[in-house]
Structure 1
Amino acid sequence: MKTYLVGGAVRDELLGLPIKDQDWVVVGSSPEELLRLGYESVGNDFPVFLHPETKEEYALARTERKSGSGYHGFVCDFGKDVTLEEDLSRRDLTINAIAKSRSGEYIDPYNGRADLEAGVLRHVSSAFAEDPLRVLRVARFAARYASLGFSVHRETYALMAEITQRGELTSLTPERVWKELSRALEEPKPSEFFHVLRRCGALAVLFPEVDCLFGVPQPPEHHPEVDTGEHVMMAVDVARERFNNPLVTWMALVHDLGKGVTPKEKWPSHICHGIKGVPLVEMLSERLRVPRDYLQMGKLVSEHHLRCHKVGEMQARSIMRLLEALDAVRRPERVTLFAQACEADACGRLGYDRRDYPQKEILIRACSAIREVSSQPFLEAGYKGLKLAEQIRRERIRRIAKKSLS
């Protein structure tokens, strides 16, 4: 029985990046032997075990054979005679198919280290095309390593396009697609995830509401980049860089979906695109089965982001209406998230990426001001029902004018 460090730990060590988790492959053993040694079985589809002391994952070396459609249609063989090279051959990218022995020797049968040096995301073999999930995984790796100069190899792009054209992406479950998307929103350059998918045709299949934004013009005096799709990509990168919160990056992604349904004869104007985007956010969210807070905040930023941009010019009463739409008294955390997404929108434009966004602090101060208002003085003064609510609201507006706009 021999064990080797594999996958992301080896890859990131060679890149000089922090190692999050260590995964091991076991060659020349069996489930029975590992159980006798005290390992805990945790695998469902194939034998994976937790080390009795370190709790790191140890998987038996295995081969995979395509037996059906989709990413579940595989038959695994994990016999004692499966070699390390055979196990590495089933992996997606060469940079993920490097192993390291206990003595520190690298086993690299598919030239992953050369691709690491060259900054290339390349498939291990033609078997790559058997698993549609790999289209999303490659796009996510592109988003992770774009800042290091990595790009997808042209032949790998061809296989990704082949998977897309065969209709294999439709076999992916909503949960799986959302998992990959949500992880991509946390990568250093999430825009690259969408660009890669678009180049192989997968964006139109999986995220058509986003895909149709490319090629849609906007007024150049407000958007020097002109193209709506490019603007949204800039916005998601600003959101990731400034706030590093996947919910905010999601909001930046969906804030302008309404521009995708503007009739061409109305271009580059997009009147009422905010409210028009709300049903598109709902459609995308329901199809991907996103968490409820992602759905709610996506709808809010679509409908109200233009109001946030003008908050510095608003009267206190108008700011109050915006805060009421956000349910700011009960959900003050929404205000910060909303304002951050609006900042990403405002700064995700050609030449605007280093600008300040004072509207965010104005809105956050206004939220703080209205939450300071207590109902107790008005109750003691005898106000009840609608008259009580009216007095509280008047006081909140007064506080906004005094503390936020002064």
Structure 2
Amino acid sequence: MKTYVVGGAVRDELLGLPVKDHDHVVVGATPEEMVKQGFRPVGKDFPVFLHPKTQEEYALARTERKTAPGYKGFVFHTSPDVTLEDDLVRRDLTINAMARDEDGAITDPFNGRQDIANRIFRHVSDAFAEDPVRILRVARFAARFPEFRVAPETNLLMQHMVEQGEVDALVPERVWQELARGLMEQKPSRMLEVLRRCGALARIIPELDRLWGVPQPEKWHPEVDTGIHMQQVIDYAASQDFELPVRFAALMHDLGKGITPEHKWPAHHGHEGLGVDLVNEVCKRLKVPTECRDLAVMTARDHGNVSRALELRARTVVTLFERCDAFRKPARFSQMLMASECDARGRESADVSFREAPYPQRPYLENALAAARAVNAGEIAQRTADRPERIPEMVRAARVRAVKAAIAASGIGPDGADDADDGDDGDGAA
């Protein structure tokens, strides 16, 4: 019986990165022997055990055989005669197919160290093609290690997997899990690049894939291409360390531009409204958590109005708050402002960048919301107790006055009457 540290822990040590978790492979043991030594069995599909003291995972060396489409159609085999190399050959990438023994010696049968040095993602063997989740994992690794590139032969293999329909067998929950993890890495745009190059994005999220090649007004979007804009937006969200709901909302906010009629290009008037149904479709298909879905829908619908916030009258601003349920959920409204800020700053070309441009809309609307929420609705209700049907009207009027005062105090909002319409879905700078 011999144990090895395998996979990500070895890779990250060689990259000089902190190691969070250690996975172990045990060669030459049986499940009964593991239990006798105090290990606790937890594996459902194959023998995995928790160390009695460290609680780290120890898996028996195993081989596997594909028996059905998708990522669950495998039969696993473990026995004391399964070698370390037998186990490593089933792994996805060479950089994840190394092992370190208890003395620190590294076993590297597939040249993972060389691929680390060359910053290459390369599949270990043709067994890679048996598990479509590996396409998602490679894309996620690209977001985590943006300096790495996918080996041409590995990209060809992934393209073949897509053409064979393997990606179509993925269950929504697993797609969302990997997508969410990739969005939380340092450069999420790399995940989209990898998925697009092999054709997987068009199968997983076609609503997003169709954005590449769709032009936007160069005045507001020096990057011009909507897909490139999307990549810049989510990378800016990552650079600000925003939470997952904000990053997902940033990813989804411009889906409506993908279905704007070509004869209207590069303008996209009304794309916000068009995007709402598309966001809902994506979220339903991938079973996106409610928190992420609701923020993404709100951002798609109203990011244009947020971009025009300094032009809106007080009545229109209060309508925006009401539509976004901001009085009950101010934190979510602030998240929508964060996603909208990512949209505003994720616009750059070789010559022009909005990344550091002023973005007063966020503090402007947050201050206005704070003023509106400070209105004492209970006191108004008491004063209007003899006419209860007028309470909502009176509360709203007080909120409009509070917002108007806040706008005036800011010195940057519109002056004059507050009876403008409630805004529209115009493209403008959105």
Q: Distance in 2 between matches of 1:380 and 1:279?
A: 41
Does 2:399 correspond to 1:396? yes
Give the Å deviation of 1:369. Answer: 1.6
- How many angstroms apart in 1 are the aligned matches of 2:79 and 2:195? 36
Query: Is 1:368 aligned to 2:370, yes or no?
Result: yes
Distance in 2 (CA, whole Å) between partners of 1:404 and 1:80 is 74
- Of residues 359, 362, 378 in structure 1, which corresponds to 2:361? 359
TM-score in terms of structure 2 length: 0.92
Partner of 2:177: 179
Percent identity between matched residues is: 50
User: Which whole-Å CA distance do the structure 2 matches of 1:191 and 1:285 have between them?
Assistant: 20
Instruction: Please give the alpha-carbon distance, in whole angstroms, between the structure 2 residues aligned to 1:297 and 1:397.
Output: 24
Q: In 2, distance between residues paired with 1:114 and 1:343?
A: 41
Q: Which has the higher helix share?
A: 1
Specify the alignment match of 2:258 in structure 1: 260
Once the two structures are superposed, what CA deviation does each residue of 1:96-126 show, in whole Å capped at 9, x if it has no partner?
A: 0111111111111111111111111111111
Residue 405 to residue 94, structure 1, CA distance change in 2 (3 Å): farther
Structure-2 separation of matches of 1:177 and 1:252: 18
1:36 Cα deviation from its structure 2 partner: 1.2
Q: Give, in angstroms, the shift of residue 376 of structure 1.
A: 3.0
Aligned residue number for residue 291 of structure 1: 289
Q: Match for 1:205 among 203, 223, 241?
A: 203
**Distance between the aligned counterparts of 1:14 and 1:190, measured in 2?**
23
Query: Do 2:384 and 2:390's aligned partners in 1 also have CA atoms closer than 8 Å?
Result: no
User: Could you give the per-residue CA deviations for residues 65-105 of structure 1, whole angstroms, max 9, x where no partner exists?
Assistant: 12221111111111100111111111000110111111111
Match of 1:82 in 2: 82
Give aligned pairs, total: 404
Matched residue, 2:91 = 91
> What TM-score do the two structures reach when normalised by structure 1?
0.97
Q: Following TM superposition, by how much is the alpha carbon of 1:130 offset from its aligned partner in structure 2, in angstroms? A: 1.2
- Which residue number corresponds to residue 194 of structure 1? 192
1:225–1:75 CA distance, 2 compared to 1 (3 A):
same
Report the CA distance shift for 1:405/1:334 in structure 2 as closer, same or farther (over 3 A): farther
Deviates more, 1:72-81 or 1:392-401: 392-401
* 1-structure distance, mates of 2:174, 2:243: 20
Amino acid aligned to 1:398? R
- Pairwise CA RMSD: 1.1
Residue 153 of structure 1: how far off its partner (Å): 0.6
**2:128 — aligned with what?**
128
C-alpha deviation, 1:379, in angstroms: 3.1
* Aligned residue among 330, 333, 337 for 2:331: 333
Question: Does the 8 Å contact 1:132/1:172 carry over to 2?
Answer: yes
How does 1:22-37 map onto structure 2 within 5 Å?
22-37=22-37
Say which structure, 1 or 2, has more relative contact order (CA 8 Å, 6+ apart): 2
Give 1:236-255 correspondences, 5 Å limit.
Answer: 236-255=234-253
Cα distance per residue 1:143-195 (max 9 Å; x no partner): 1100xx21111010011001001011111000010111011110111011111
Superposed displacement of residue 402, structure 1:
2.2
In the other structure, the counterpart of 2:303 is 305
Instruction: Tell me how far apart the structure 2 counterparts of residues 382 and 286 of structure 1 sit (CA, whole Å).
Output: 44
2:272 counterpart residue number: 274
Q: Distance in 2 between matches of 1:11 and 1:96?
A: 6
Q: Aligned to 1:187, what secondary structure does the other structure show? A: coil
Task: Tell me whether 176-185 or 390-399 shows the greater mean CA deviation.
Answer: 390-399
- Measured against aligned partners, the alpha-carbon deviations of 1:369-404 in whole angstroms (never above 9, x if no partner) come to 222121232233234433122221122122222235
- 1:3 is displaced (CA, Å) by 0.7
Tell me, in whole angstroms, the C-alpha distance in 1 between the residues paired with 2:343 and 2:310.
Answer: 16
Distance of aligned partners of 1:102 and 1:399 in 2 relative to their CA distance in 1, 3 Å threshold: same
Distance 1:79 1:381 in 2: 80
CA–CA distance in 2 between the matches of 1:243 and 1:301?
Answer: 18
Aligned-partner Cα distance in 2 for 1:380–1:281: 42
Superposed, which structure 2 residues align to 1:107-118 within 5 Å?
Answer: 107-118=107-118
Contact 2:244 2:292 in 1 (8 A): no
For 1:379 and 1:315, the matched residues in 2 are separated by 25
